[in-house]
Structures are given as structure tokens and as C-alpha cells.
Copies of this chain bind each other. A is one copy, B any other.
Amino acid sequence: MSEEYRSMWQNLGIDLEAHDALLGVLGNFYQDIHLSQKDRPEGMKYFDFVMSEVHGLRIKELVDEKKTGRRIIGSYCVYVPEEIVLAGNATLVGLCAGADFAMDEAEKLLPRNTCALIKSTFGFKLGKVCPYLEVSDMIVGENTCDGKKKAYESLAPLVSNLFVMDIPQMKSLQGRALFRHEYNRFKDAVEELTGVTIDAGRLKEAISIVNEKRKAIHRLSMLRKADPSPISGVDALLANQVYFYDNPKRFTDSVNLICDELEKKIETRQGAYPAGIPRILISGCPMAVPNWKLPWIVETSGAVIVAEESCVGERGTRNLVDNSGDTVDELMDALVDRYFQVDCAIFTPNNDRLDHVREMARTYNADGIIHYGLQFCQPYLMEAIPVTEELKKQGIPTLMIETDYSMEDVGQLRTRVEAFIEMLQ
């Protein structure tokens, strides 16, 4: 790493030694899981570059943006609307939460029985290894699950400018009114942070930028319907992960570029893996960088992942925002219309999710579904039981996995995944 980056990290308060160790592990993972694949699309080179510079060039870009007066807003959830952030002339970034780090420190503030994603949030903060968190002028929390809701109370004293957005638990009229009110409150907070008044023009432009980003990732998803799939699941997941970090316009262009290439591959039936191997839909908890454990196991066990029913995947990117309104109110309503459809397991009832899982299994010709639950994630683990029960009733083979970020269960997981894949052949 260049000296320029090191001094940038130091200025952000990063613990350089710990951070070097983290980047070392991340680099090895990336080499083993992504770079070791054969005949990858040329377009993945962009994502390889992004990942190699994920704490370097991208952070420098954000620091440079800050120098021009632009504000950076960090978030942990797909309910935080990027459109409002962009309309306020700010940049939204997803915050690090995909690896165990400084767990000893995190477990002083959180119960041991807390999901790995939440513990990771604390580990990255306490271990001082997340430059995205340190560069953010505002951190947005949200009352989604109990774990996050209560964890933000303990995170608040550790960060400056934590804004917590309340989220309802039912998709009732009252729930929607609360959600709408919170989006207004968030807009006000962004305006206060940036000094920019979010008018209809700005909001329309921002909606258009994010819609284009979603269209690009939808286009990528649809190409995975082909057999053989022109892209591996681990690479497609990576694109879905980079969605949260990258400059949105550049990301859109890069995804469209790889789609052009993948379309040609489909014409010539060039796949990431041979045609005819079992096709897997992953459904459940989000997978943040570098949580690639399960996808890697699946794709090194003779199957290909063809879609992700996940916040880092179609649950997070499904549906565009109607951009036809002419007033801020109309456009804010349109935002709420779109985001309130996201079918996170925190909502009750959450029947849409089962419908989407089935629909995705059909759309992507999945032979089987692996339900991925993070240990101690109550909403998804609880919903997993009726969801997998119903899928099995309908004759869709389903495997339920419960795991965390550690590597201790890799052997055991591989045995179960292999047995499941063998059953699908």
C-alpha cells in the first residue's frame, strides 16, 4: 500500500497494524475464492480493482469528496434510501460488517449470543479498521431487528452523529405512516447535514441515478437465467456487494459493461461452470464483504448459485422508484412505495417473501434452495422454519443452514452442502 493511503488511514484514526492484518486476510480470501476461478468474464477485472482498492482508492475518493464540502453518510441497511442522500448532494456507503474482528472487545458491549453481523459492526469500530465508518459524517441506524435496535444504543456513544430511523413492524396504514414520517425526518437530517435543500428536481435526478443502478443489477441477474450461467455466484454476489460501496454511476456503467460481455457468452454457451450442474438459489440473511463462506462452499461442491434472495441481492434491489411525480411529496411517497415493499423478516406477517422465493426459484430455474441463516438472527431463523416447510411441501428441495462468520464449521457445512447437491443431480 502506498504511503499516501497509510497517512490517510492514520488521519482517519485507523489502527494501521490491525488494518494491515485485516487487508492481508481479505486479500487471501479474495485470491482463493474469486481470483482462482478459471475463465472469468473480463468485466470482473473492474470489480477485482474495486476490491483491491476497497479501503484505498475508494476511501481516497470519499476523502476528496469531503474536501469539496460533500458529506458522506454510512448505513447498515437497505431501508436507508440512497435517493435522499444523493439528492442532498451527499454520498451513501455501506458500512463494514462481514467479518469477525476484535470480537473480545465487541463482546464487552454485546451479548455473546448476538448475530455475527452486529458483532462485526462493533468489532470494526472498536478495532478501528473500517475507514468507511471513520470517513462518514453521519451514521444511519434503523430499528429493524431487536439486535440492531438495541445495539445502536450502545453504538451511539462510540460514534459521532448517529441518526436512528424508526421502522414499523407491520405493513399497515399506521406502519406506513410511521415509515413515511421517518423518511421525512431523514430528509430533514440530510438537509441539515449538507445545507442543501432537497427539491423535486434534485430528488428526481437522484431517483433516476439509483433506478439506473438497479436496472443494471437486474440486467445482470436476468443473465443468470441461462444454463450454463455466464457468471459464477461468488462473482455475481461480489457485484451485489460492491453496489453498496461504489460510485453509483460508475457502478452502473461497469455492470452494464460486464452484461454486454455476458450476453455474448450466453450466445456461445460459455459458462462459469458446465451446463446442467445443479442450480442453487440462496435465500436468507445478507452477506456483507467478505462473508463469502457459504457461496464458496456451494460452488466448490459441484453447483452454481443463480440468484440471491437477500438484502445483498434481489430483496435489496427489487422494484424501481416511480419517478413521474412533480413535487417533493409525490416523490417521497414514491420512495416509500418502493422501500416499504422490501420483504425483510422483521415484518409480520411477511408472506411476500415466500412468494418471492418461489418466484425466484422458477425464474432462475433453481434446482434447490439453500436457506442461509446467521446464528442468533431471530427474524430470519424463525421465518426459515415455515418458509422451508412450505417450499418442501411444494416439492422444492431446500436445505437450511445456520452459521456465523467463523471458519470452524467449513468442513461440516461442506459435508451437508455436498449431500444436498448430490441429491439434486
Task: Give chain A's interface residues, CB within 8 Å of chain B.
Answer: 108-111, 113-114, 143, 145-147, 149-154, 164, 166-170, 172, 174-175, 177-178, 181-182, 345-346, 348-350, 375-376, 378-379, 381-386, 402
Contacts and interface: CB of A to CB of B under 8 A. Distances in A.
A299 B174 CA distance: 47
A379 B153 CA distance: 11
Contacts of A346: 146
Contact of A114 (B151, B166, B382): B382
Given A154-B386, A178-B175, A378 B146 contact: yes
Given A345-B150, A348-B153, A348-B164, A111 B385 contact: yes
B110 A382 contact: yes
A382 B151 contact: yes
A268 B147 CA distance: 50
**Interface-central residue, A149, A170, A175, A383, by most chain B CB under 10 Å:** A149
Contacts of A350: 153
Contacts of A114: 378, 382
B150 A379 contact: yes
Contact of A170 (B150, B166, B174): B166
Contact of A382 (B146, B170, B182): B146
Contact of A109 (B172, B175, B178, B385): B385
Contacts of A168: 166, 168-169, 178
A419 B106 CA distance: 27
Contacts of A402: 111
A378 B166 contact: no
Contacts of A164: 348
A147 B114 CA distance: 14
B348 A143 contact: yes
B166 A175 contact: yes
Given A146-B146, A382-B151, A375 B113 contact: yes
Contact of A167 (B109, B113, B169): B169
A177 B402 CA distance: 38
Contacts of A381: 111, 113
A114 B146 CA distance: 13
B174 A385 contact: no
Given A111-B384, A113-B113, 20 more contacts: A109-B385, A111-B378, A143-B170, A145-B146, A146-B147, A146-B379, A146-B382, A147-B378, A149-B169, A150-B345, A150-B379, A150-B383, A151-B382, A153-B382, A154-B382, A166-B168, A168-B168, A174-B181, A177-B178, A376-B376
A21 to B, nearest CB: 27
Contacts of A108: 385
